[in-house]
Amino acid sequence: MTLLVCPLSQVETARALHRPSHLVSLLSPASPDEAWPRPSVDDAHLRLAFHDIAEPREGLIAPNAALVARLLDFAAGWDPARPMLVHCWAGVSRSTAAGFIIACQRAPRRSERDIAQALRAAAPYATPNELLVSLADAALGRAGRMSAAIAEIGRGADTFEGALFELPLK
């Protein structure tokens, strides 16, 4: 079971190297159509458009419960025989949050703390979107443990852009 996370700039390289069956794109609502990766014939593609904000702000689109439900439904349909690839613009906040969420969903008995620490080890710069994680925490019935685990690892190292990495699911 391989869960990959990367910035937009590395999506095509990751697709060529790993041939994922599922692709999750998390970009801004203002992203032009040409910025979104084109679906390939042999992968399922979920596009979610929202701003990378930690709390609702006037004039911006925040992640919400319906968006998290779409992410969880999509991930639940993933056959892990082939990898899933999750990306956002920089590969630092939205995509690392989504990767953490999917890992929590796919490993319901694994501690949130363990998963967050695996995320930090794989991506020292990861700074998961706290609002997205909080919404998923509620949706998955994790009683605040997902949010607490992300708060514990804290803000990641400063970077302009992340890199392709694998988030261990076991």
State pLDDT tens for residues 66-110. Answer: 999 999 999 999 999 999 999 999 999 999 999 999 999 999 999
Q: Could you report the per-residue pLDDT of 3-52, keeping only the tens digit for each?
A: 999 999 999 999 999 999 999 999 999 999 999 998 776 779 999 999 99
At 91, phi and psi to the nearest 5?
75, 30
Q: Could you give the number of structural domains in the chain?
A: 1
pLDDT at 43: 75
Rounded CA separation 5/66 (Å): 22
State both tokens at 20. Answer: 């994922």
Which residues span the domain enclosing 90?
3-167
The verdict on pTM exceeding 0.85 is: yes
Q: Any idea what the CATH number is for the domain that residue 112 is in?
A: 3.90.190.10
